[in-house]
Structure 1
Amino acid sequence: MLSLKLAQKLKAAGLEWEPKKGDWLLIYTDGEKRYLKEPVLYDNGACLPWEEDCWLPRLDQLFAEIEARGYAVEVHFTVNRVWVLKKGINDIPRVFDSDTAEDAAARALLWILEQKKGA
């Protein structure tokens, strides 16, 4: 599972999210108390307010976010390494290592979001 620290950085960097069944988020209640849970979804697709909460995307969701921004992604699970490369550009891939594949992918996505802000 993605670390809370990286999930918070992704949110601060502007990663948007619409709750879907199977997603995980960290709910803040009573000040510092936090609860990890799935969002409450209703039949009409609406959910309980979640704007102040923090989404913890799964590895497949992180990859989808990277690819949606025009990057190819490759993961090496033996070393928890993620490679990202801008599609259609002959460039050296960026490499992101971490303790978990989720954190490595989150670091890659965070870099992409920061590149967009700086452009």
Structure 2
Amino acid sequence: MIALSTAASAALVFPALSLMAIGGIFLLITNIQVGNLFQNRRSAIITLYNGAVDSSAVVFLLVKVLHEAVFSMMSIFLFISSLSAILILRTFLLLPRTQIPYPLPERYTYG
């Protein structure tokens, strides 16, 4: 939606960014249970996930710099959208259907 915006549809950018922010927190909550797989480093994994979600301001700074340098906005946002699609596919295809327990049972297998 953002990549295809024009001057006439610029008002759609603000609702789109709000929806992206809401979707990001749901992906964080869904994927944060991966930290349960690393018992000794659980807090480090959860912190990495939080940092990845909170680094969105840096992404938009990079978008601004890349757009000023050489790339079109459409190509930048299509690249970011493809990375988001990989994350969504990984969420639905690789996470187990039930919650990853904490603490892990002795013979817990993943996959």
More helix by share: 2
More strand by share: 1
Q: Which has the higher contact order (CA 8 A, sep 6+)?
A: 2
**TM-score (ref. length: structure 2):** 0.30
**TM-score (ref. length: structure 1):** 0.28
